[in-house]
Amino acid sequence: MTDSFGHPFRDPGLLRQALRHRSAGVPHNERMEFLGDALVNLIVAEALHDRWPKADEGALTRARASLVRESTLATIARSLGLGDRLELGTGELKTGGHRRDSILADALEALVGAIHLDAGFEACRERVLPWFEPLIDQLPIGKVEKDAKTRLQEWLQARQSPRPDYTLIDASGEEHARTFRVSCRVGEPETEATGEGSSMRSAEQAAAAAVLDQLELIR
């Protein structure tokens, strides 16, 4: 991989900004991350749509979710050596921010956004798609497991039980490196568990998975 992650930047400043975390000051990579998030979703969705012509919307959605989730993006970022290139503030350097999934995933999305801004969508897709192709090839077509929240919802619906309640218990850490703790409670049968994550969504998924584990024991 070249110093510019396989893309010859016409504007090196875009790459520098993509690799600059907000803890290092401005300009940082959050706006590029916003753009890159949408681009990654589009590139992955298009690839799945083309490669799985018989898969229904649900299977495509679950597959995309598994490919664009934080842990997967962080794994790709590590394979590119992106963490070693990040510009972080003193606090993040001391706490190993270059190894944190949330920071790596955000930086990868920012890098995608920077490539798009530098060269347009076609060049961006040509560079980014190969990062995901090995992962797409490993997926069982149309049979990607549903996430924990979906499985819990379907478990309750099948028994005509009320929807689960998710409640934020705590959010700790600095603004750019938050840890969320969420509870998930179901009424029939009465069960409650907590989960943690670097976002509300991941914390809710962890809590739902914990509740499902308890419901399996009850059964």
The tokens for 177 are 């490196």
Quick one: three-class SS letters along 15-81? HHHHCECHHHCCCCCHHHHHHHHHHHHHHHHHHHHHHCCCCCHHHHHHHHHHHHCHHHHHHHHHHCC
- 216 belongs to the catalytic site: no
- 145 belongs to the catalytic site: no
Catalytic residue among 87, 109, 118, 147: 109
Considering only CA atoms, which of 116, 94, 122, 92 is closest in space to residue 104? 92
Catalytic residue among 33, 37, 70, 204: 37
> Which residue stretches of 145-199 are H helix?
148-158
Each residue of 156-177: b (16+ CB within 10 Å) or e? beeeeeeebebeeeeeeeeebb
The residues annotated as belonging to the active site are 37, 109
